[in-house]
Structure 1
Amino acid sequence: MKNLLNIINIVLCVWLSFGCTDGAQKRKSGEVSFHRIHASSLFPSSSSSCVLSPRASNTKSSLHVVHRHGPCSSLNSKKTKTSPNHDDILRLDQARVNSIHSKLSKKPTARDRVSQIQSTDLEARDGNTLGLGNYIVTVGIGTPKHDLSLVFDTGSDLTWTQCQPCGRNGTCYPQEEPIFNPSSSTSYSNISCSSRFCDSLTSQGHYKNCSASNCIYGVFYGDSSFTEGFLAKEKFTLNSDVFHNVNFGCGENNQGLFYGAAGLLGLGRGTFSFPSQTAMTYNNVFSYCLPSSPDYTGHLTFGSSGGLSTSVKYTPVSKVRDSASFYGLDIVGITVAGKELEIPVTVFSTAGAIIDSGTVITRLPPKAYVALRTAFKENMENYTSTMGHSILDTCYNFTGLESVEIPKVSLSFRGGADVEVDSKGILYVFDVSEVCLAFAGNGNDDDVAIFGNVQQKTLQVVYDGAGGRVGFAPDGCM
């Protein structure tokens, strides 16, 4: 019996030792709580080739999502090629965030509303946001169909494109494709100034006016960009799906940092948004995947017939103060390297959060960001830290390193949706000597948090308007 007990003890000790050693080896190699990545994979490829998303290629209601400044983009001709540098990107991103915070915190007075309606000067206004708009899709507009590259934006409702003639002074910015000419389309019609759609412009924060009984719209963005023109109806074509009488803006007076795109596809929650207007066909459901790098395309898919992942985890859409356009989320926790951070839930609930395809860097409440930054630094102590850059304050020098291990980061949302950020969504790369944590803190506790597009890379993000929920699944571009 004694010998039998000794044998059992030896076997038990060996088994326990193996388990502990295996766990230690996994932690050391980065298989459990860390991403082990080749340093070279952090940087853009020098190749001019483009890899197309199979999902967008094989699904009729899918469009290829393209990073506007990569080899997959049609906006890279000499005519419109003016790529922003990193400082521009982060500056414009902060302008967008400031505008979102202003819209969601400021309650306009009656005087403000009258001023917005009556004023015709095209100054920047709070209440609408643009930023940089990294990602574009190609949509057919008019009869015959005119293919146009549009920035898609979940934080905007009104879809618009530049139209001929371009104002009295020719105020259209350069775009890649020929500017849409409504007089050459047999399906185009202006919307009457007495239409309920025209009346609803002001309730959604836009400018409204009338010209010979036709409805005039104006959208003014937080970075001094704007579009102004006729509110109209037109035929829109998405591959083989055709939609008649879609409300959109035909802009004859436009300025801004659109870098060659012909306009904007509004994917917000409001009545003017494209998902709302096509709800009879797509049931107000769409999904997208933002590619891991500009060398690849992702997809924007309308409806659920394109095949939603079976691993999608949903969180309910929450109300975002007085806005009907943004998709609100309830963040309940953050995990770094497998360890949940000790952040009171009230830190997140005080400000609330939204998901936004147009914001680049995720913004967190100050206390939540400090907790994330502290945990990240603790797990990166073996790497050489450097000075921060712009809004990013946690940076490292990877010069001479063949591979690096970075801690995994996950965000938890109400309803049990735990979303692990892809390795490409954790770092923002300036160059090999300056690689930064791609999160930033808000200035105030009551500023809304924003789940930005860097952190959304490679995820399938599902917007189920009918079900009032947003979902996430890994490997969404495959």
Structure 2
Amino acid sequence: MAEHLLSLCCCSLLLLFMVVGVAGKEEKIVLYLQKVGLGEERASQYCLPKRSRREKGATILEVKHHSSCTTSFSTREDKLMKIIESDNSRISSLYHRIKNFDSRSPKTVLSESQIPITSGAKLQTLNYIVSIKLGNNEMTVIVDTGSDLTWVQCQPCSSCYNQQDPIFNPSTSQSYQQIPCNSPTCSSVQIATGISSFCGSDQPSCNYSFSYGDGSHTSGVLGWEQIDLAGTIIDGFVFGCGQSNYGLFGGTSGLMGLGRTQLSLISQTIFQFGGIFSYCLPPREYDSSGSLVLGGDPSIFKNNTPVSYTRMILDPPESPFYFLNLTGISIGAVALQASGFYNGKVLIDSGTAITRLVPSIYIALRDEFMRQFSEYLVAPGYSILDTCFNLAGLREVSIPTMKFVFEGGVEVDVDVNGMFYYVKEDASQVCLALASLTYEDEVGIIGNYQQKNLRVIYDTLGSRLGFAEETCGWL
């Protein structure tokens, strides 16, 4: 046991030992800090998510943080800047796509055949990965609730980025079939994406192409293939066979689309898993695991509190995104007052790191947090993170609790792991991990940094989303 603890200490710059404490009327939690070593964060030798199993009709996949296999950042400041740049690109892409869906038809539902191809932008940092089998080939893919199309890099590859797993070769798979250009599946995808007939020049293949607005892109052919999710076999799974892909996808094979529309993995496995999936994200970026559960048996979870459900906002109905109604936020025992709560539509997203709030809500949150945290030294802001503190040399700090309130009175406590981002290794610049949007009419985003140690349950058929506290790890 002592040797194990010593090895953990050698791999970490700053370990956070976090214990919930009571101060006043449960207004604060106590965060214990202990600097235990020097040197850079290291990627674990067990960085790839390999574990999976079936239980009670559900499939459980191990989730790892993308950074587990990455050592490309020289400092924490460099890493944070990359996170912010990636987030900004993704958010810009999300807003562009939201506006496109809003403008396509004010309140008219598209036919079921109109399936949008969408995906997240610039997948570099603070994303989460799982392993699946496609045509009996193991693939490590990024989990993305803001995407519909699942795609992997394929041979022949005219332009591909470096990945850790072997590139999928459809010519060696007996279960692979190209989707013909004149098929209903191809036509529906093309109509939905606004792409005119896009067929292969030398063969009647159904081609796809998607650019993210930041220079990243994927293009190739659509195909049917057998997908293996921890022993649950789905034949005829529609996916993108990417033959030209560019972007900082971090050595993964591609992307798993968990969006709301018919092309997503969730919709394509509706008979196996009932349109329900959930995740519990790893609390740390290194030497930490979480889980992605496909299926809805709650006895599998290890939640510490009951699951509370809030309504999904289906506006527009054909959108691939998951919208909720944020009705309030509390800092300590103080309920914030802000005009932004009167139209509190927010997007919950697995691919965005930092939560963004409309200005009226963010300013109220920032000011109240500063008031309750006023005993600690203020530090300069860092980029979009403007609420920062100097906690160097301290062994513990008392932090105001933060609670999001969603429609129906559903209260979600933000875990201490999701409160602060440590810009400096010595904790001399520690910033509140939330940021303000520019305009009041923009849609807020609940990022993955504030979803740590939560079981987040997506019930797509019931149009509801559930939250429960859970110490995330491999189930």
Give TM-score scaled by structure 1 length: 0.82
Q: Mapping of 1:63-462 within 5 angstroms? A: 63-70=61-68, 75-76=69-70, 82-83=72-73, 85-106=79-100, 128-132=119-123, 134-142=127-135, 145-167=136-158, 171-205=159-193, 207=195, 209-211=198-200, 212-294=203-285, 295-305=287-297, 307-308=300-301, 309=303, 311-321=306-316, 324-344=319-339, 347-350=340-343, 352-431=345-424, 432-462=427-457
Shift in alpha-carbon separation, 1:376–1:224, aligned structure 2, 3 A: same
Shift in alpha-carbon separation, 1:26–1:271, aligned structure 2, 3 A: closer
One-letter code aligned to 1:68:
H
Whether contact under 8 Å (2:51, 2:61) holds in the other structure is: no
Identity of aligned residues (%): 38
SS at match of 2:188: helix
Shift in alpha-carbon separation, 1:348–1:258, aligned structure 2, 3 A: same
Distance of 2:161 and 2:225 partners within structure 1: 22
- Structure 2 gaps, min length 5: 1-20, 105-116
**Which structure shows the higher helix fraction?**
1
Alpha-carbon shift at residue 196 of structure 1 (Å):
2.0
Shift in alpha-carbon separation, 1:320–1:363, aligned structure 2, 3 A: farther
One-letter code aligned to 1:315:
T
- Structure 1 gaps, min length 5: 1-24, 111-125
Alpha-carbon shift at residue 434 of structure 1 (Å):
1.3
Alpha-carbon shift at residue 197 of structure 1 (Å):
1.8
One-letter code aligned to 1:65:
V
Shift in alpha-carbon separation, 1:48–1:177, aligned structure 2, 3 A: closer
Q: 1:235-291 CA distances to partner (integer Å, 9 max, x unpaired)? A: 111111111110000000000010101100000001100000000010000000001
Whether contact under 8 Å (2:64, 2:129) holds in the other structure is: yes
Give the structure 2 partner of residue 15 of structure 1.
Answer: none
Distance of 1:140 and 1:51 partners within structure 2: 18
Shift in alpha-carbon separation, 1:51–1:149, aligned structure 2, 3 A: closer
SS at match of 1:245: strand
Q: 1:413-463 CA distances to partner (integer Å, 9 max, x unpaired)? A: 001211001011111121211111111111111111111000001100000
Which shifted more, 41-50 or 217-226? 41-50
Whether contact under 8 Å (1:166, 1:172) holds in the other structure is: yes
Distance of 2:22 and 2:218 partners within structure 1: 54
Whether contact under 8 Å (1:275, 1:285) holds in the other structure is: yes
Which shifted more, 48-57 or 329-338? 48-57
Whether contact under 8 Å (1:285, 1:464) holds in the other structure is: yes
Alpha-carbon shift at residue 106 of structure 1 (Å):
4.7
Whether contact under 8 Å (1:127, 1:221) holds in the other structure is: no
Alpha-carbon shift at residue 189 of structure 1 (Å):
0.3
Alpha-carbon shift at residue 162 of structure 1 (Å):
0.1
One-letter code aligned to 2:346:
A
Alignment match of 1:467 (pick from 446, 462, 466):
462
Q: Who wins on radius of gyration, i.e. which is larger?
A: 1
One-letter code aligned to 2:414:
V
Give TM-score scaled by structure 2 length: 0.83
Distance of 2:52 and 2:180 partners within structure 1: 37
